[in-house]
A and B are shown apart, each in its own frame.
Chain A
Amino acid sequence: MTLNDWIILLLAMAIPMHVILGACAYLILLERKLSAWMQDRVGPNRAGPMGLLQPLADGIKFILKEEMMPGHINKFLYVLAPGITCFTALFAFAVVPYGPTSSEPGVFPFIIAPNVDLGLLFLFAVGSLNVYGIILGGWASNNKYSALGALRASAQVVSYEIPLGMSVLGVILLAGSMNIETIMNQQIEHGFMGWNIWYQPLAALLFFTAAMAESNRLPFDLAECEQELVGGFHTEYSSMKFAMFALGEYVHITTLGFVLSCLYFGGWHFPWIATAESAYPGAWAVKVLVLLTKVFAVLVLIQLLRWTIPRFRFDQLMGLAWKVMIPLATVNVLMVMCFKQFGWDPMWMLPGSLAIFICAGVVGVQSARSGRSLAAAA
């Protein structure tokens, strides 16, 4: 490798890492502002114009705050846990494209680790390690509420890992690759109608839901509920260690936004302005912006959902994963397998997905009715 290659490699790593860490601070501000607007409040507006310096103030506060270390903890794991959460969340970003990717030497790759054929598998493997941070944090705190929060998180992540993996299986089968760049570029070659959302709408919905559960976002944030767990797994954490848990969560949902955009919404592709043919000067910047806009839209949707749906009860949460999402994802994979095996026209996948969804709804209604009539008879 020449010096030039090294510089490009370092830049490709450093730029997204720093942008993400900065963006996460501002995502927290955006979330607070959006929550305020939804609730007819003003939101943070003291630090800087319109509160734009709030993340800075928060950061200073987190660093300068006294670091409480309870006496009854397992010190090694206690310190390790926020590190694991943060590290795995950032590490998973290595295989996520953030622009028009390329693996040619001497060209800015727009991905930290280009051409990883295990791409998606790596992402899920590392991303699900995230829960180790939560479990270790909850257990090392030696506090029963923290431990309960951590247990809930582990049960939740183990359950939602399955629909998460199953829902992308359809996309993997369609593309014949687990490399996220390959999946993205195949969609881009086929233009707007090549986006996977037209073939796998149900899988996209399942993926989005499961990934939200995986990153412990509302309405799936049972691991950190103030009402019954005094905050959950991070009750005993303070100052920067607490901030690292929050940072890990936000990096996680940012990664989710990138993966959702790349797998189902054509990555940096957008008709007319950023297609495979567009080669006008500055096209790369437009492509990056298109991808970032899609990610931003996903993140705003997640934050809107936060104040829209009330938190699930734990049995509802488990029921949603095991009784609804896993069967749906399995049937979806089965459908893709049939299409691939018998060479049917993939354009019928959209009605197919809808049909599966409607069938599931009908089955759900019927089983609920028969369940109620059984209960009434008893």
Chain B
Amino acid sequence: MAVAAQDVIWAEPPKIGFWESTYLPAILTGLGITTKHVINYKPVTLQYPEVEPDLPVHYKGIHRLNRDEKERVKCVACMMCATACPADCITIVAAAAPKDDPLWVDRDKYPASFEIDELKCIYCGMCEEACPCDAIELTHIYDVTGTTRSEMIYDKEKLLAVYDETKNHPKDPPRTHRGALSGTSEFSTLPPLGPATPVLNDDRSAKAPTPGVIRPTH
């Protein structure tokens, strides 16, 4: 359908004056800006290996598998994370919990193997959101590397080791009651997280008692 004539807005190119057409004022202004940066030299870069970045609390680094109160893997092998994963990097083999073992007597199902390909992962955090029992969480660890691809496929033991390493780190508080099995996160006891992006004052998340946490308005 043709656009009606009154709906068309003609944009005129701005008129170029005398000084603009000589280029000189623009060049001099630009030189002033570049020189100002040289004189008021305030570098914004970090000297990375010596100075580590101060990451926000909600930084999404490599995963960890949380432990419950009996130090077992908290995961119940429900496959929610593997289903939610857009990069298809989580592989879980579920198994029935060994009922004859007194340690596992209150559990029905557990992951016999839990593998995350950290090279495939896009660190979106959707596994963390999908998990009904807060077993999988993303940590602040960002500087992982390996010499082979298979080294970067994290298995259950490695993911549990990440939990042991990070559980007491101030950047990585367990998002729910430490040790409590299942049950979704309790918002009221969450440590206050800053919003990932600046929020407007009239935004729902800004009015919430815990900044960045959106509550339903009913």
Contacts and interface: CB of A to CB of B under 8 A. Distances in A.
Given A308-B30, A309-B30, A34 B38 contact: yes
A357 B18 CA distance: 11
B197 interface: no
Interface in A163-177: none
A304 B16 contact: no
B18 A361 contact: yes
Contacts of B208: none
Contacts of A357: 22
Contacts of A34: 38
B30 A365 contact: no
Nearest to B23: A309
Contacts of A340: none
A361 B13 contact: no
Contact of B22 (A42, A361, A369): A361
Interface residues of B, number: 22
A18 interface: no
Contacts of A38: 34, 37-38
A365 B17 contact: yes
A368 B34 contact: no
B21 A361 contact: yes
B150 interface: no
A361 B18 CA distance: 6
B13 A372 contact: yes
A39 interface: yes
B34 A40 contact: no
A42 B47 contact: yes
Interface of A: 34, 36-42, 45, 304-305, 307-309, 357, 360-362, 364-365, 368-369, 372
16 contacts: A34-B38, A36-B43, A38-B34, A39-B37, A40-B41, A41-B43, A41-B45, A307-B34, A308-B27, A308-B30, A309-B27, A361-B18, A361-B19, A361-B21, A361-B22, A362-B18
